[in-house]
């Protein structure tokens, strides 16, 4: 009886830690692109529900694995401590063994491969190459001899692979093609996913600089990095306005403009702050901007399907 009473709290605690190390506030960076690509496919044909679910879960597993690789390698390189902000903290706070975190990441990759086989079998095996390339990028983001996270290219890779490519693959597996409209619609979400990365790097600027990283935020400095974040938001919104004015998409996509106050909140929140714990709420607001923008974009696409 005593063992049972002890195991229940322990199991709950472990589940809570496992949920936390997925970094749930960032996971919409995978969910939103899949939703957009699938909703856009409704303009061509009906949705294959199982393919949609397989793509959604596979992308989530890839992102979670990337977060776990981040947790593992930042610990191995001595970057994460108990005082670090924005980490899962499974190793430095909860006592998880590093190899356990690595094993969990590999399990996530294994599950995404299984789902990928199903997706390829029902669409195209060429997607296997793209999927494996995306998984390699996820690993190399913090793994390998020169991690992408240590360079100014983090925003580019995250935006391109998790934003734009996730949309295009989601569209392709439903329609069997990638057209000009799907490419154009994917661009602002790619920018906003990159903006989440930029917000993270602004928060971590001082610590990253001390560890020898050369992120875009470090190269620009805090003030100009925040300005750059604002420019990324502006380009995303202006891109949609441009698509509407050129009659490439329906005016209903202007619904995304309703998310502008959230973007303003994110940018203004970073101004004048220098402590990671002060900036953490605005990293979340940046992720929320992508979520709201994406859901409104889906709504606009659905109305005009």
From residue 218, alpha-carbon distances to 57, 97, 159 in Å are: 34, 31, 19
pLDDT above 70 covers a percentage of the chain that reads 92
pLDDT for position 2: 44
Q: What is the CATH number of the domain that holds 289?
A: 1.10.600
What pLDDT score does 65 carry? 95
Q: What is the mean pLDDT of residues 162-191?
A: 96
Q: Say what the pLDDT of residue 83 is.
A: 60
Residue 224 lies in a domain: yes
> Does the residue 12 lie in any domain?
no
Average of per-residue pLDDT across 163-173: 96
Flag whether pLDDT at 8 surpasses 60: no
Question: What tens digit of pLDDT does each residue of 93-123 get?
Answer: 777 888 999 999 999 999 999 999 999 999 9
The tens digit of pLDDT for each residue in 30-66 reads 999 999 999 999 988 789 999 999 999 999 999 999 9
Q: What is the pLDDT of residue 210?
A: 85
Q: Is residue 69 part of a domain?
A: yes
Please check the confidence at residue 1 and state whether its pLDDT lies above 50.
no
The model scores a pTM over 0.85: yes
Give the pLDDT confidence score for residue 3 in this predicted structure.
Answer: 46
Residue 195 lies in a domain: yes
Domain ranges, residue 99: 26-303
Count of structural domains, the chain:
1
264 lies in some domain: yes
Decide if 212 contacts 226 (C-beta within 8 A): no
Res 5 pLDDT > 60: no
Can you tell me the mean pLDDT for 82-97? 70
Supply the angle between the helices 28-41 and 166-175 in degrees, to the nearest 10.
30
Residue 220: C-alpha distances to residues 146, 153, 207, 209 (Å): 21, 13, 15, 12
| Residue 160 lies inside a defined structural domain of this protein | yes
What's the confidence (pLDDT) of residue 179? 95
What average pLDDT score do residues 1-10 get?
A: 45
Please provide the DSSP assignment of 25-83 as one string: GGTHHHHHHHHHHHHHHTTTS---HHHHHHHHHHHHHHHHHHHHHHHHHHHHTT---TT
pLDDT at 274: 85
Q: How confident is the model at residue 71 (pLDDT cuts 50, 70, 90)?
A: confident
pLDDT at 12: 66
In a domain, 65, yes or no: yes
Cα distances (angstroms) measured from residue 68 to each of 21, 86, 108, 165, 192: 7, 13, 9, 21, 22
User: Considering the domain boundaries, does residue 266 fall inside one?
Assistant: yes
Residues 198-232 pLDDT 10s: 999 999 998 888 888 899 999 999 999 999 999 99
Is 187 within 8 Å of 243 (Cβ atoms)? no
């Amino acid at each position: 009886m005593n063992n049972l009473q002890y195991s229940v709290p322990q199991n709950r605690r472990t589940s809570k830690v496992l949920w936390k190390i997925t970094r749930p506030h960032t996971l919409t960076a995978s969910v939103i692109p899949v939703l957009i690509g699938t909703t856009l496919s409704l303009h061509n044909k009906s949705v294959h529900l199982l393919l949609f679910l397989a793509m959604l879960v596979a992308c989530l597993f890839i992102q979670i694995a990337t977060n776990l690789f981040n947790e593992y390698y930042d610990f191995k390189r001595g970057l994460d401590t108990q005082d670090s902000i924005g980490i899962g903290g499974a190793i430095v706070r909860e006592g998880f063994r590093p190899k356990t975190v690595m094993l969990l990441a590999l399990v996530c990759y294994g599950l995404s491969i299984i789902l990928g086989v199903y997706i390829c079998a029902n669409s195209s095996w060429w997607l296997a190459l793209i999927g494996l390339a995306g998984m390699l990028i996820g690993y190399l983001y913090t793994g390998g001899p020169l991690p992408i996270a240590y360079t100014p290219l983090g925003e580019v890779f995250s935006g391109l692979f998790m934003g734009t490519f996730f949309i295009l693959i989601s569209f392709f597996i439903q329609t069997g093609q990638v057209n000009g409209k799907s490419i154009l619609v994917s661009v602002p979400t790619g920018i906003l996913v990159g903006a989440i990365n930029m917000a993270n790097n602004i928060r971590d600027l001082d610590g990253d600089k001390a560890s020898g990283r050369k992120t875009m935020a470090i190269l620009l400095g805090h003030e100009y990095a925040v300005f750059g974040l604002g420019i990324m938001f502006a380009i995303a919104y202006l891109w949609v306005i441009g698509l509407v004015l050129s009659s490439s998409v329906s005016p209903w996509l202007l619904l995304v403009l309703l998310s502008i106050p959230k973007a303003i909140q994110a940018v203004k929140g970073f101004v004048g702050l220098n402590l990671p714990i002060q900036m953490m709420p605005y990293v979340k607001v940046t992720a929320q901007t992508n979520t709201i923008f994406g859901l409104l974009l889906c709504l606009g696409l659905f109305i005009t399907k």
